[in-house]
Amino acid sequence: MREGLVRVALVLAPAVAALMPARGQSCAPIQVSASSGTANDNFATATGASTDTVVCGAPNRKVGANAFQGQAFVFRFVSAAWNPEGTLTASDGAANDTFGSSVAIAGDTIIVGAPGKASGTATYQGAVYVFTRSGATWTQQAKLTASDGAAGDNFGCSVAIFGDTAIVGAYGKSGGANFYQGAAYVFVRTGSSWTQQAKLTASDGAANDFFGVSVSLGLDAAAIGADGKTISGATAQGAAYVFKRTGTAWAQQARLVAQDGVAGDYFGTSVSLSGSSLAVGALYKASGANAYQGAGYVFLSSGVSWTQQAKLTASDGGAFDYFGSSCVLSGDSVAFGAPNQTIGANPAQGSAYVYVRSGATWTQQSKLLSAAGLADEWFGASVAFAGSAAVTGAAQQKVGPNVGQGAAYIFGSNIPINIIQQPVSVTNCTQTATAMTITAAGTGPFNYQWQWRAAPAVPAWIPVAAGLNSGGARTFTAANTTGPSLSISGYSQTSGALPFAEFRCLVSNTCGNATSNAATLQVCWCDLNCDQLVDDLDFVFFSGAYNLFECTEPGMPASCPSDFNFDGVVDDVDFAIFATAYDALACPTP
């Protein structure tokens, strides 16, 4: 493995058009971990799933006296619960094998990568092991190695399986004098025997491409990431390659790059193929000033042509999130891991994001977080789908006293609410309505109830009613009080020097409720032309109202906005208030 990067197996059983029905799971995610786990196992560095089975790799696990030999653990949904089914160990396991660095499952077959496996004196040549299930018992069926294996290949850094076909990445494979050019190997099964069918390399392969760092399989199709690929002089911009099989022959169909790709994106760190769609992660993609925030991309094929359909980023993304470190695509659902994301005060707690497609449009559905909520969990290091459930690995989570033991979380179809867009504080003039908006993710439908209070010093929150609201010497009119976007207008209060009010929203679904942050509405009473300044133009408006004096006079603007103390007249008291605001020029910020 390359230092500093978590390499994740992108694991798919045969793709389905839509996620399957839930398996009766409650709203709370289910945490699974090795029953005999120890510190620094890094359980769930890689995860794979089928409809009722989850497999998690623990590549740093010590087995007997062998440090970093690694194991993999299988869980199955039986009797309405996820239960341990088996522990997978290589028959010839040895220290530093890092067995479990990658995993994949299809039906009753699991393949596990051991990229650190030595062959004689050839260290880190790598190997992959195949296990099959009979009833509830798992046994090793085969050990796979490359026909041209050599030291440093890291064969098994990534794996995928589809039916009786498996693909294995070897990002360290040299291509002649090109170190770390990389390769991928295809194996097929006949009966219980596995044979190598092809060695795949990029048509434009070069040194440091790291081709094979990620792999995925579909029906007679393979996707391979090369996140170190230099594109038109842009080092490590990255690329993904699609290969197609005709009969027993494989040929490159396409090389894909991001439309906005630049040096250092590492596009191709993760890939996941489902039907005619391909998801690709670029974990180091910058977003504005946010270095290494990361991004995900979805491509769609038509015939032999591939086009970028969408670029996906986190609604609340930040620098060094590493969004796209892992990804999984199934039908119209895709998930991306952001394992280095800071959550609250917890650096590297991590998260995962789920998006759904309607037509050609992708929208963020959920943000997933661990139940433990600890720093340095690396939640999102791996992702998979098990039917309608999302599986996410927290490879460095502390479990009990064991730092770095790791755990995995299984989220059912009922996902708790996460507010991904908070209402924003705003300054507005009296004539303009204000919108307070939130966006909630999770399992809908959602119920919304907006609340308000006169000031932070007034602790009681009052439900916002449709129509006229009053309290704390303030009044306003509200609409859409039970929707995601609240409309506020018709403000009045006895003192224009005070912030008008705070607003927040209570959102609920079948899993419970969540409350948004509070946002302040500050009314700039003397900004009579609504340009966020109190200047000579406003004085012209004020002078006209001052000369009319009474708010009931014909010609007085509607709602008498120059009556700043709301006493029914525009007089010297209002002039004093205006003069103070005029001297300040800019409207106050909330």
Distance CA 75, CA 86 (A): 7
Distance CA 565, CA 2 (A): 67
**Tell me, what's the pLDDT at 120?**
94
**Sheet hosting strand 71-78, strand order edge to edge:** 46-49, 53-58, 71-78, 81-88
Distance CA 429, CA 434 (A): 9
Distance CA 379, CA 369 (A): 7
DSSP 387-424: TTEEEEEETT--BTTBTT--EEEEE-SS---EEEE---
CB proximity list for 444: less than 8 A, separation 6 or greater: 509
**Tell me, what's the pLDDT at 413?**
63
**Tell me, what's the pLDDT at 12?**
36
Distance CA 296, CA 360 (A): 15
* End-to-end CA gap in the chain: 49
Question: Where does CATH 2.130.10.130 sit in the chain?
Answer: 30-415
Distance CA 126, CA 184 (A): 12
**Tell me, what's the pLDDT at 547?**
85
Query: How large is the greatest C-alpha to C-alpha distance in the chain, in angstroms?
Result: 99
At 172, is the secondary structure helix, strand, or coil? coil
**H or E segment and range at residue 536:** helix 536-548
Give, for all 590 residues of the chain, the pLDDT tens digit: 343 333 333 333 333 323 333 333 457 788 999 989 999 999 999 999 998 999 999 999 999 999 999 999 999 988 878 899 999 999 999 999 999 999 999 999 999 999 999 999 999 999 999 999 999 999 999 999 999 999 999 999 999 999 999 999 999 999 999 999 999 999 999 999 999 999 999 999 999 999 999 999 999 999 999 999 999 999 999 999 999 999 999 999 999 999 999 999 999 999 999 999 999 999 999 999 999 999 999 999 999 999 999 999 999 999 999 999 999 999 999 999 999 999 999 999 999 999 999 999 999 988 999 988 999 999 999 999 998 789 999 999 999 999 999 999 998 866 778 788 899 998 888 878 899 999 887 777 899 999 999 866 667 899 999 999 988 778 899 999 999 999 999 887 766 556 678 999 999 987 778 899 999 988 887 877 878 787 888 788 888 888 888 888 888 888 777 777 778 888 888 788 788 877 777 776 66
At 373, is the secondary structure helix, strand, or coil? coil
The token pair at 284 is: 């180091």
**Tell me, what's the pLDDT at 11?**
37
Place of tokens 């609240």: 486
Distance CA 402, CA 374 (A): 13
528, 542 Cβ separation under 8 angstroms? yes
**Tell me, what's the pLDDT at 225?**
98
**Tell me, what's the pLDDT at 458?**
67
**Tell me, what's the pLDDT at 526?**
81
Distance CA 131, CA 438 (A): 48
The token pair at 219 is: 């029906």
**H or E segment and range at residue 355:** strand 351-358
Q: What distances in angstroms separate CA 21 from CA 73, 178, 385, 413, 502, one per listed residue?
A: 24, 48, 12, 8, 41
The token pair at 80 is: 């309405």
The token pair at 416 is: 């708790």
422, 438 Cβ separation under 8 angstroms? yes
- Phi, psi dihedrals of residue 543, rounded to the nearest 5°: -60, -40
Distance CA 371, CA 392 (A): 12
Distance CA 324, CA 314 (A): 10
Distance CA 377, CA 352 (A): 12
Distance CA 530, CA 587 (A): 10
Q: Beta-strand (E) ranges in 107-248?
A: 109-114, 127-134, 137-144, 155-162, 165-170, 183-190, 193-200, 211-218, 221-226, 239-246
Taking 3-state DSSP, the helix, strand and coil percentages for the chain, each rounded to the nearest 5, stand at 5, 45, 50
Nearest one of 163, 162, 156, 238 to 202, comparing CA atoms: 238
CB atoms within 10 A of CB 62: 17
* Fold held by 421-523: Immunoglobulin-like (2.60.40)
Nearest one of 260, 271, 587, 237 to 428, comparing CA atoms: 587
159, 104 Cβ separation under 8 angstroms? yes
Domain 30-415 has CATH 2.130.10.130: yes
Distance CA 553, CA 571 (A): 13
**H or E segment and range at residue 545:** helix 536-548
Q: What is the DSSP secondary structure assignment for residue 561, as one 8-state letter?
A: T
Question: Where does CATH 2.60.40.10 sit in the chain?
Answer: 421-523
Q: How many residues does this entry show for the chain?
A: 590
Place of tokens 């086009």: 307
Instruction: State how far Cα 307 lies from the chain centre.
Output: 22
The token pair at 469 is: 């609201």
